[in-house]
Structure 1
Amino acid sequence: MSRDVLGLVVGMALGFAGWFGGFGAFLLVAALGTAGFVAGRFLEHGGDLRELLASRDRGGL
């Protein structure tokens, strides 16, 4: 799936959450989406916690 389509899906999910659930649901979906992204990136790149923290300290993630 391309990044454009993924961005569209995420945007639509956040829009639906905001429309039907209010601002609290919007924030919950955004937070869980961020947690899922970080977990997926962590697992995709080998799962070494030291590398994840080191890349965060250098400004990249």
Structure 2
Amino acid sequence: MTTATAGLLAGLLLGVAAAAGGFTGFLLALVLGAIGYAVGGHRDGEFDVVALLRGRGRG
């Protein structure tokens, strides 16, 4: 299991534990899962989150 996968699972579990139901709970679990996957993928070196958030820049 990669760090990205572990981060995804951790984010999903935290989302379910925090919201416990409903459409809002589903959305929160989805967002936290995506954040967990991004942090894990960054730690594994799969992609650079900082470069994605920085954008292109000017000039």
* TM-score after normalising by structure 1: 0.45
Q: What TM-score does the superposition give when structure 2 sets the normalisation length?
A: 0.46
Looking at both structures, which has the greater relative contact order when contacts are Cα pairs under 8 Å and sequence separation is at least 6?
A: 2
Query: Which of the pair is proportionally richer in helix?
Result: 1
